[in-house]
Structure 1
Amino acid sequence: MEDIPQSSESMKDILDIENIVLFLWPKVLLFVFGILALLLSIFLIIKIFQFLKNRKKKILSLSPLEQSLKRLSKIGINLLINSPQPPLKLRGGKGELCHSVYFELSEILREYLDRAYSFPAMEKSTSEIKELFITNKPIALSNEIIGELVSFFEKADQIKFAGQPSDNEGIKVDMEKIKNIIICLDGLLKKDISKHS
Structure 2
Amino acid sequence: MRADAKKNYSHILTVAHEVVTEHGADASMRDIARQADVGLATLLRHFPTREALFEALLCTNLDALTQKADELEASNSPDEALLSWFREWMAFAQSYRGVVAMMAAAHTNPDSALYASCAAVHSASARILLRAQAAGKARTDMNGDDLFGLMSALGWLVDLPSFAPRADHLVHIIASAILTQSEN
Relative to the length of structure 1, the TM-score reads 0.31
Which structure shows the bigger proportion of residues in helix conformation?
2
Which one has the largest radius of gyration?
1
